[in-house]
Amino acid sequence: MLQLNQLVFRKDNGCNASCKIEMKQRKERQKEKWILCPVCNNKTRLKLRNNTVLKNFPLFCPKCRQETLINAEKWNISIIKV
């Protein structure tokens, strides 16, 4: 883990301006997470942000075509009904 951090750090230092913008965009994107289907564990078409709040949300999975009722807050997803 430490080795990996050092690698990333070294890469950051040799970064030009456009690379820095890309890194910023990547960081922004990390604030979003795909919701995984609780039935088949595949990615759904929905994303959560760190401030997304869902209540009794019918999550439809395009893969297994099941609908699941979920609650979500701060990336914590709880399944109400499968």
Per CB under 5 A, residues contacting Zn ion are: 37, 39-40, 61, 63-64
Minimum distance, C-beta of residue 64 to Zn ion, in the bound complex (Å): 3
Minimum distance, C-beta of residue 57 to Zn ion, in the bound complex (Å): 15
Return the closest-CA partner of residue 60 out of 76, 48, 44, 71: 44
* 8 Å CB contact between 25 and 34: no
Query: Residue 18 has which token pair?
Result: 């456009």
By beta-carbon proximity to Zn ion, the closer residue of 21 and 40 is: 40
By beta-carbon proximity to Zn ion, the closer residue of 40 and 82 is: 40
By beta-carbon proximity to Zn ion, the closer residue of 39 and 69 is: 39
Q: With 0-12 CB in 10 A as exposed, 13-18 as middle and 19+ as buried, what is 17?
A: exposed
Minimum distance, C-beta of residue 27 to Zn ion, in the bound complex (Å): 29
